[in-house]
Amino acid sequence: MAAFSRGLPSVLPQRSFHFPSSIRAAIFKAQPRFTQSHAPARSFSSSVLHRYQSPASSRSFVSSDPVLRTVIQTREPVLLYKEPANKWYLWKVYGLACTCVGIGLYNWKFAVELPKDMQWFVPPTYYVIGFAMLAIGFHVFTRPVRRIHSLEIIPNTMGGPLQLRIRARIAPFLKERVILADLTEATISEKTAPMVAELVEADRARNQRLTEGLEHLSILPRIWELAARWLEQKWTSFFLKFKFAVLRFGIAQVEVNGVKWKLDCSGWLLDEGRAIDRIIIEE
């Protein structure tokens, strides 16, 4: 009785193997239940540690980025992007779109009015060209839709995480909308810095002086080189305009809450686009 008054643990290491088989089975069956009780505690502790590690990594990211650090210290918005100031932009876009649609409709009209004795492949050719021009025209019509006017990083008035403030229009003639989103809620389709560098190089090529570096040539070689440079410059300019207007090169898409907004990389970007590339996650 004195042994049992001291408790079962005092007896178990010395006397457990002298107990009857039924008691030994009960003792050793209870041990796995004791070891399993640690599993929820380990799972809970690991989830708590993971929960408290993610804000720490977020804080280190904010403290390491100079733009975000400036917003936190000054409590003032920082402008990341502003669209290009081009008052003729809409006229150019809609003029090109209307021209393409007009060419497409004229091709269809011409195909309908062809003589009956024409080769069989001539009418389908006009229809295909007309359809292609109509598709390009309608595609160009959608270029000014959902354009971002400005993009800023702002402090949260409630003391929460930093936010993006996007000013944009769904259509050119509609009222401007203001969209607020956390930094983790926005994604961008591609990096802006490489596109900015290519746009700068294309602009330099278009505006390059044709006579640059030809001072040492005589008259006939200089005329030949000038003609070659002029043709190359005009072809490059046409190809770049087609690439920008139809293929939409230089346009990055910022997605917020499932809606994609267009960001024109020919506008003003902080740090030549590298600030946006650091802050907004690429898809």
pLDDT tens readout for residues 53-63: 444 444 555 55
Query: DSSP readout, 225-246?
Result: HHHHHHHHHHHHHHHHHHHHHT
C-alpha angle with apex 228: 222 to 231, nearest 5 degrees? 140
C-alpha angle with apex 153: 143 to 283, nearest 5 degrees? 55
Structure tokens at 171: 């259509």
Is pTM beyond 0.85 here?
A: no
Q: Which residue has the tokens 């900015």?
A: 196
Domain boundaries, given as residue ranges, for the chain: 2-59, 78-197+245-282
pLDDT tens readout for residues 264-277: 999 999 999 999 99
Any residues with CB less than 8 A from the CB of 41 and at least 6 apart, and which? none
Strands 186-188 and 281-282: parallel
Backbone angles phi, psi at 122, to 5 degrees: -70, -50
Which is more confident, 90 or 33?
Answer: 90
Give whole-number Cα distances, 93 to 86, 141, 246, 247, in Å.
11, 7, 10, 13
pLDDT tens readout for residues 235-268: 888 888 788 877 888 899 999 999 999 999 999 9
Neighbours of 265 (CB within 10 A): 24
